[in-house]
Amino acid sequence: MPTKPANPMPAKQVFDNYFLETRAKLIEIAANLDRVDRAPNLIELRGDWRLTFVDEALKILQSPGPNRAEQIQRLYSKS
């Protein structure tokens, strides 16, 4: 079981350090989903496990808690 660091970085510092990277990744995800939405034959993706995975992962990201990365990894391992 992983242990917590003795002196974790304060939340504001984490946000200050990683905000731009996080913003860029969110924009990239949104752009990919926009491409899918604009693509012909979108209906062919209904039921595709990857689309379901992305939808479920986005729900996990919206939920509070410190273990979102782990939850998404577990979700992917079930796919």
1: pLDDT strictly greater than 80: no
pLDDT band at 74 (very low <50, low <70, confident <90, very high): very high
59: pLDDT strictly greater than 70: yes
Which residue bears the tokens 């510092």? 13
- Cα(40)–Cα(79) distance, integer angstroms: 25
DSSP at 1: -
Q: What is the pLDDT of residue 47?
A: 87
Write 11-20 long-range contacts (CB < 8 A, 24+): none
| Residue boundaries of the structural domains of the chain | 10-39, 44-79
pLDDT, one tens digit per residue, over 5-48 is: 666 899 999 999 999 999 999 999 999 999 999 999 888 888 89
2: pLDDT strictly greater than 90: no
DSSP at 2: P
DSSP reduced 3-state for 66? coil
Number of neighbouring beta carbons within 10 Å of residue 29: 14
